[in-house]
Amino acid sequence: MAFQFSVYSQDVIRQVSCFDSTLKKEADSLKESFYKQGFIVVKEATMMMESEYEMPVIVPLTQGSWYQFVFIGDLSSKLYEVRMYDYNEKQVVYVKHYAQDKMANIISYSYIPKFTEYHMIKPVQVNKLKKKNVCGYIMMLKKVK
């Protein structure tokens, strides 16, 4: 596998969940909207993030399936980015939003993989008010046939 992880405990990134009522409302609204378009939620999670640091999320994708990915960042952040890499570590998606844009804290994109393989999603947000404990929400939806 192309992704490598350290076995030393100080190098392990542990995903810690968080709760933000605004992010939850935005996620629920988006889920309802995508459900009406024929998508179902496959995975979703909240995650405590540190400002300016990527939070890698590994997902298994099936060739030819239509996926919708959503990242929702803390409203007080100034910048939001999501990069997605395929199994060979080739960047296949890059989206960047600035806080002055309308609904900038939501990054949503479609993706149809060419191969059945793992992909890595790396969301990041830059927050000047909070260096640590910045809440993020990630969803993976799949089009139902």
Query: pTM higher than 0.75, yes or no?
Result: yes
* Residues whose CB falls within 8 Å of the CB of residue 120, separated by 6 or more in sequence, listed in order: 3, 56, 57, 58, 59, 84, 85, 89
Residue 47's alpha-carbon distances to 18, 62, 83, 113, 139, in angstroms, are 6, 24, 17, 25, 11
pLDDT tens-digit map of 5-20:
444 445 565 678 898 8
Within a domain: 126 = yes
61 occurs within a structural domain: yes
Predicted confidence (pLDDT) per residue in 50-106, tens digit: 999 999 999 999 999 999 999 999 999 999 999 999 999 999 999 999 988 778 999
Within a domain: 7? no
- What is the domain count for the chain? 1
Q: What is the largest CA-CA distance in the chain?
A: 44
CA distance 55 to 70: 14
The CATH number given to whatever domain includes residue 106 is 2.60.120.380
- How far is Cα 29 from Cα 51, in angstroms, rounded to an integer? 25
State the pLDDT at residue 6: 42
**Residues spanned by the domain of 119:** 15-143
